Structure 1
């Protein structure tokens, strides 16, 4: 859903109230929406009653994975019949039901109260099923209304898509599924064509899947906060897509992405090219006042100031999205707010700045998603100021300003009111509003905008914005709120910046960059060069570590820090602040606070680093290992291709590593062609890439020289499978054998142990050591398996190991056998039986030296991670959010300024 940006609450003492005890009323909140008349009077009671109820649970099956469809069938055939047999207080329990407007019954919702769920055993079994399948990417927990924006984007394979504010990633995952729709079938068809004698050298496949069945599209998922970007990665890794790039930039000024120049004739200089997107999702930071059913603190925290501070940020994000869009492409703008200041007013402002309806148009989506109940967008509304007063027009505000001053009017802007003049007839009714009482959901807003011609965005009109309050007024308000306890929100005193007179050199740099700032509607880089941290639309520290109290600090007039932004920094260095550790993330190394360079946490390296030592960077900044592509004839790759008999048709120029030396030391990744071109072309260009690629090969320590040291990782096996030779294949067709491999982690193959492995016994006894491919073909027989699967299998000297994470083993045991048997590690002398929550520190103690495990210690986001993320991402007031944007980071590079006004590339 739209990213909420709310006020931070303190960690101070006090009695913690249960969810049921928290008040669900707010006089200003209710008065504002009653005055707006967003719902008819006869529906008003139902509207507020729905807002006060808890939100139903909902989840979605991964439509691009055949395994997920089998999981969906398991739900229908097994779990729903058990749930429908339950009676509570004389009535049958309501089972999960498919969301009527979501295609192919892939989305489901359940209204059963928690007190019922906790009481009956079938619900406990169902919950384990959901958790297990979510951990392996077959199910995503997602609020129903947040599924709407990706659906109206009309994403198809082959498209380039940008998700500007992506974390925690449920919508990005939904978009990625659409990019890969039909890929498994297309790959299989291409393989069959080649098998039947097709010798065509050009890549085969339908449009968008014409890379021998592989999707040629790309999703760039961005988040402005580094920690949240890594939470996004954990969500997206479940889908194992090589068509994903994760970036870490402020969405209001997302940088232009360079593409390799096209070849030219006659020695002409190549023209720079920049990526334009077919689809962009702008699910922007918002107040989230449509979510009190889930985020109950909305009831006590809502103030009109929230939306006033976010409006400008939201407009900037939408304008930047339209700049980066292809002609004919679509931007979907969405929030989980009901406030027209964040919704229709933002859409109207962005259209006006981009040249009107001759350039961009609101798309009528009333004929899409049949069965979805929705209300049209508003054409008129009022605006509430910080003191709770309602204003009908900007003229009324200006009159009040002239007569009484700006008290209480701070942050009001002309663009927050309904459009006038030539834009008065904008078809805002084509926007979609979803209200809680319509179909038992949260509140939501969606608009689809299509770009019809190139645009040149107008600069912001600062003359129609009420300026900030004076320093004296802010200090007085600050002192008042401090006296009223730690839970009272504190405003940032940005006006103190005006007291600091810049030095001569700084002023010269400001003047020099002034024209650039005016063109791009951004502050010059010199203004924000000394900022201690990259700015973000929300504080991800709170996401992982809880919600810290805000601190206001005035030390001898040298510094004023409220929240996380240094407004006037002292000249002394910051000491004692520990760097954040990201040991669970590949290719990411926190920068230490001292000047001693730290080695990157990744592969085992005995050679000294050839690059110069890293310069000292300030704490809580992150160093991302570079993305380096390997040459097709790289000496480590050739033995891999030979060992697995990989077809020459499989592309060999898309393998990548994460180290500066471009050496395959531990992990080799695979990416799509477009991802490779972008990563290579934008190296050292200021782009902050955080993640790309699927793990394809992982190095294994093996003592024998005749054994390939690189095993195929389960993440990339689906992509590589059709192009592998038969030499390392093992065929399984019986459930009993699969069950043994899933439950038993290291079954023996030496002596007579192979005899207990059924139909694969002789094959695994005779196959040489190393990684093999376990192939399971679908069968309708009673002891057969009804799914086609391909799994990595490691043959060590004395045993086998099915190379699957424990979460996936448990999910398959539940799916195929309804079995919750603990996994058995047979290598322990005492036959240690692992519990359902194994401790990571014991995973590697009792296994054979030559038997690898599938990333046992790798962090996997818990099922509730998204819920926590959605609750924590709303912690900063909208007004605070705007203050961060006012000091945002910026940069320039060749061609970038031109592209920011969106000339044709």
Structure 2
């Protein structure tokens, strides 16, 4: 440091006194510690596990009656045990039958033999179709630590990484099963991350497709958090689907994407046959998997998310086609997040939606009916009705949290006449004015505690003559215990001790008619103050079925909670706590939306609906609408497309035009080309027409990848990607050969083999006659000695390779090579494939020729940023 600097606060004199050289604990650490240190039997210091109890949790759920009193000890006992691991086989994968057979015939017996007295160490889940989901009596921690389970653990890791299985909590597999998905359905997963359910939905639409064909449906997977979107992309990339779009929006504001004036044309509006609404929740149903929730849990976690959950569910219904099905689910046991939300959705829908009874579906799944009555806990007190909510808490506790969902009209008893004491009469909802109260009194109408009629101005029930008016009765009116009027017993509650799982809640909705949402009592609190601002937006925001009830400007559930009941940052979005704050937010949204519309009007849109901005080096760089997200651009470079089609002999039956997209606007520097299905293509076209309302972070199937070569090396600059090969395989007639079992295994094990070193000399000669560049090698089937173009089936095994000047090199990852070797060995009845002897041992070491670097993938270029995420 320079000589002119001031001395810091730490001076030499501070070190004169001899002190122990240890860190001081802060005050919080001295008083409490989430993981206190303990002394083990061997004298070493260790750490205690998380405490698996919470007094407030037990008091809350005992009072709510989640389970019967005689079951309580069993219920808590199971919650305090680690969650058994579970996984699902990808039913659309090429080897799913082989994997299921390996589990049934190999691992079931081997795990029972290695487990110490453990019965049914591994078994299929009885309620999941076709034995495709499996349950282990070991937790994930036990799988990692138990040496006797090492072989099975390695199997799980490898198959999960490749995409043949998905490790997923058992109860998390249930909601997609209740959607009744078909291959032609358009599906929206509103809160999709981390992506296990999305992967499951993709399996369902791809299950019955033939090799080289794509389903008519699609899945749009959405999540609000960018980082969670990246996790979602990584999870779903294992599926290799051309029918997937990943978006980044707040679920309650998901765009409707329809052209103005085209409501009668269904293809000009983005609606869905199925909607999965697995909303953010407090997550106390995952206590067995995440024991840290025991320490964090409080009632404010559920209360703070209620409004957001209602908004997301209503938005999902608005985007659902008439006749479609929506599943609402949470991994919470809290009725405020479950039955209360379902009741409010039915209340707002005004008969447009019905709650389905799904007791006949998945009959072997043990489930319990939903609750008809519950209470709300806030600030240490139980509330049975909205009338009991203190005035200062009405911005955090809403009528929709209670079974009736109604605002009780309370008229305070007074001693004088109405004229002198008019100001003491109060309508809690804010809808009934004092003037209307006065008029009713003059007309001889009595006032009694009653529910607000949602669609009429008259909010007070006519019951008794004027002489018994509540304004003149010196007695307080009390609310009875509330019971929901809706058939909530049709909901599905899964509790842990029934089938040794986590807890889950599921409700299945069926849309009967276009959504005509009526304003419920819980929405009236802020409605009057918001109307003026909302009207200003009528010309700037595209409207949909429920534009009157679902404010696309509301993006949070903010509640005022004390620190001891605060909603954690990761589970509860920020929100407004007062009318003034909400109005300010609305005004900002007005300005923002107007600016967006102005920019859209000024946009000099091309055929892709994006604006041109002058970029560096004199090129016209096309920018997407969304900052930080690469644009989606249709790849229409005819010269490149024709060279690809000619080089590989791709049949004209396989459509390339208008099905290839990139994330780079410069066609000369495109690294990866993605293939999209017809359904995804239609959504992209609609999105461009409406000004790119969808913020797309990922889409399609990577099918071609640029390979950097010398100018004279290959006539085609793009190679076929491993992900896109199964789709393209039936349509290729050039650059493709069938290899014997021995030669195919050689390639998988040694990665590079010279032409002269193949066991089949004829195959080596044919390989040397291929053009330089990418080629495809098939495993020759017994019944098919020679390749017949277009005659591949689901059992065909193929890999992408590179034909160099002197050799053939594999362009498949080490893990994929090992997986194929294992699958081939399993089919042949061998324990594990062993490396065969190469004819010329020298060639095993000398695997590199002058063009071996051609098969190594290039470094990421501009459009790799999105996929790398």
Q: TM-score, normalised by structure 2?
A: 0.71
Classify 1:180/1:430 alpha carbon distance in 2 versus 1 (closer, same or farther; 3 Å): same
1:514 CA displacement = 7.9
* Structure 2 partner of 1:427: 487
Q: Distance in 1 between matches of 2:751 and 2:537?
A: 62
1:646 CA displacement = 1.0
The answer as to whether partners of 1:737 and 1:758 remain within 8 angstroms in 2 is no
Classify 1:623/1:856 alpha carbon distance in 2 versus 1 (closer, same or farther; 3 Å): closer
1:128 CA displacement = 1.0
Q: Distance in 2 between matches of 1:39 and 1:549?
A: 26
* Structure 2 partner of 1:257: 257
Query: Counterparts of 1:591-610 in structure 2 under 5 Å?
Result: 608-610=618-620
Classify 1:76/1:613 alpha carbon distance in 2 versus 1 (closer, same or farther; 3 Å): closer
Q: Distance in 2 between matches of 1:459 and 1:821?
A: 70
* Structure 2 partner of 1:378: 371
Classify 1:109/1:706 alpha carbon distance in 2 versus 1 (closer, same or farther; 3 Å): closer
Classify the secondary structure of the residue corresponding to 1:775.
Answer: strand
* Structure 2 partner of 1:737: 743
* Structure 2 partner of 1:322: 317
Q: Deviations over 1:403-438 (max 9, x none)?
A: xx536x651111111136799431110000000000
Q: Distance in 2 between matches of 1:246 and 1:219?
A: 8
* Structure 2 partner of 1:125: 151
Q: Does 1:797 align with 2:801?
A: no
The answer as to whether partners of 1:60 and 1:139 remain within 8 angstroms in 2 is yes
Q: Deviations over 1:759-779 (max 9, x none)?
A: 743332332322111112555
Q: Distance in 2 between matches of 1:442 and 1:295?
A: 11
Q: Deviations over 1:470-523 (max 9, x none)?
A: xxxxxxxxxxxxxxxxxxxxxxxxxxxx9xxxxxxxx99888338989955566
Classify 1:414/1:263 alpha carbon distance in 2 versus 1 (closer, same or farther; 3 Å): closer
Classify 1:257/1:859 alpha carbon distance in 2 versus 1 (closer, same or farther; 3 Å): closer
Query: Counterparts of 1:662-677 in structure 2 under 5 Å?
Result: 662=667, 665-677=670-682
Gaps of 5+ in 2: 1-27, 37-45, 406-450, 454-482, 560-567, 575-580, 589-612, 785-792, 826-830
1:218 CA displacement = 0.9
* Structure 1 partner of 2:537: 513
* Structure 1 partner of 2:496: 436
Classify 1:226/1:803 alpha carbon distance in 2 versus 1 (closer, same or farther; 3 Å): same
**Could you say which structure has the larger radius of gyration?**
2
* Structure 2 partner of 1:715: 723
Q: Does 1:46 align with 2:74?
A: yes
Q: Distance in 2 between matches of 1:141 and 1:466?
A: 44
Q: Does 1:452 align with 2:507?
A: no
1:524 CA displacement = 8.1
* Structure 2 partner of 1:394: 386
* Structure 2 partner of 1:57: 85
Q: Deviations over 1:63-99 (max 9, x none)?
A: 11232222222223333332222153xx256431100
1:611 CA displacement = 2.9
* Structure 2 partner of 1:724: 732
Query: Counterparts of 1:155-304 in structure 2 under 5 Å?
Result: 155-184=181-210, 213-258=213-258, 273-304=268-299
Q: Distance in 2 between matches of 1:139 and 1:832?
A: 35
Specify which structure has the bigger relative contact order, considering alpha-carbon pairs within 8 angstroms and separated by 6 or more residues: 1
Query: Counterparts of 1:514-553 in structure 2 under 5 Å?
Result: 519-520=547-548
1:257 CA displacement = 2.4
Classify 1:611/1:755 alpha carbon distance in 2 versus 1 (closer, same or farther; 3 Å): closer
Q: Distance in 2 between matches of 1:388 and 1:223?
A: 34
1:695 CA displacement = 1.1
Q: 2:100 aligns with which of 56, 72, 81?
A: 72
Q: Distance in 1 between matches of 2:630 and 2:499?
A: 47
* Structure 1 partner of 2:630: 625
* Structure 1 partner of 2:11: none
Query: Counterparts of 1:336-355 in structure 2 under 5 Å?
Result: 336-355=331-350
Q: 1:368 aligns with which of 361, 371, 385?
A: 361
Query: Counterparts of 1:88-103 in structure 2 under 5 Å?
Result: 88=116, 91=117, 94-103=120-129
1:860 CA displacement = 13
Q: 1:770 aligns with which of 773, 778, 782?
A: 773
Classify the secondary structure of the residue corresponding to 1:281.
Answer: strand
Classify the secondary structure of the residue corresponding to 2:95.
Answer: helix
The answer as to whether partners of 1:224 and 1:248 remain within 8 angstroms in 2 is yes
Q: 1:747 aligns with which of 741, 753, 770?
A: 753
The answer as to whether partners of 1:221 and 1:244 remain within 8 angstroms in 2 is yes
1:45 CA displacement = 1.2
Classify 1:41/1:846 alpha carbon distance in 2 versus 1 (closer, same or farther; 3 Å): farther
The answer as to whether partners of 2:754 and 2:843 remain within 8 angstroms in 1 is no
Q: Distance in 2 between matches of 1:852 and 1:536?
A: 51
1:794 CA displacement = 1.3
The answer as to whether partners of 1:779 and 1:787 remain within 8 angstroms in 2 is no
* Larger deviation, residues 278-287 vs 422-431: 422-431
* Structure 1 partner of 2:621: 611
Classify the secondary structure of the residue corresponding to 2:801.
Answer: strand
The answer as to whether partners of 1:745 and 1:823 remain within 8 angstroms in 2 is no
Q: Distance in 1 between matches of 2:836 and 2:696?
A: 38
1:215 CA displacement = 0.5
The answer as to whether partners of 1:55 and 1:294 remain within 8 angstroms in 2 is yes
Classify the secondary structure of the residue corresponding to 1:57.
Answer: strand
Q: 2:694 aligns with which of 681, 687, 692?
A: 687
User: What RMSD in Å do the two structures reach over aligned CA positions?
Assistant: 4.6
Q: Distance in 2 between matches of 1:181 and 1:536?
A: 42
The answer as to whether partners of 1:79 and 1:122 remain within 8 angstroms in 2 is no
1:820 CA displacement = 9.5
Classify the secondary structure of the residue corresponding to 1:623.
Answer: coil
* Structure 2 partner of 1:808: 816
The answer as to whether partners of 2:143 and 2:150 remain within 8 angstroms in 1 is yes
Classify 1:48/1:406 alpha carbon distance in 2 versus 1 (closer, same or farther; 3 Å): same
The answer as to whether partners of 1:233 and 1:246 remain within 8 angstroms in 2 is yes
Q: Distance in 2 between matches of 1:415 and 1:756?
A: 74
Q: Distance in 2 between matches of 1:41 and 1:376?
A: 17
Q: TM-score, normalised by structure 1?
A: 0.68
Classify 1:438/1:681 alpha carbon distance in 2 versus 1 (closer, same or farther; 3 Å): same
Q: Deviations over 1:356-411 (max 9, x none)?
A: 3xx111111100112100000111111111x23112222333xxx2xxx536x651
Classify 1:142/1:733 alpha carbon distance in 2 versus 1 (closer, same or farther; 3 Å): same
1:636 CA displacement = 0.5
The answer as to whether partners of 1:259 and 1:678 remain within 8 angstroms in 2 is no
Classify the secondary structure of the residue corresponding to 2:304.
Answer: helix
Query: Counterparts of 1:798-837 in structure 2 under 5 Å?
Result: 798-817=806-825
Classify the secondary structure of the residue corresponding to 2:328.
Answer: strand
The answer as to whether partners of 2:255 and 2:694 remain within 8 angstroms in 1 is yes
* Number of corresponding residues: 688
Classify 1:811/1:520 alpha carbon distance in 2 versus 1 (closer, same or farther; 3 Å): farther
The answer as to whether partners of 1:696 and 1:715 remain within 8 angstroms in 2 is yes
1:823 CA displacement = 14
The answer as to whether partners of 2:806 and 2:849 remain within 8 angstroms in 1 is no
Q: Distance in 2 between matches of 1:16 and 1:859?
A: 40
Classify 1:652/1:411 alpha carbon distance in 2 versus 1 (closer, same or farther; 3 Å): same
The answer as to whether partners of 1:779 and 1:786 remain within 8 angstroms in 2 is no
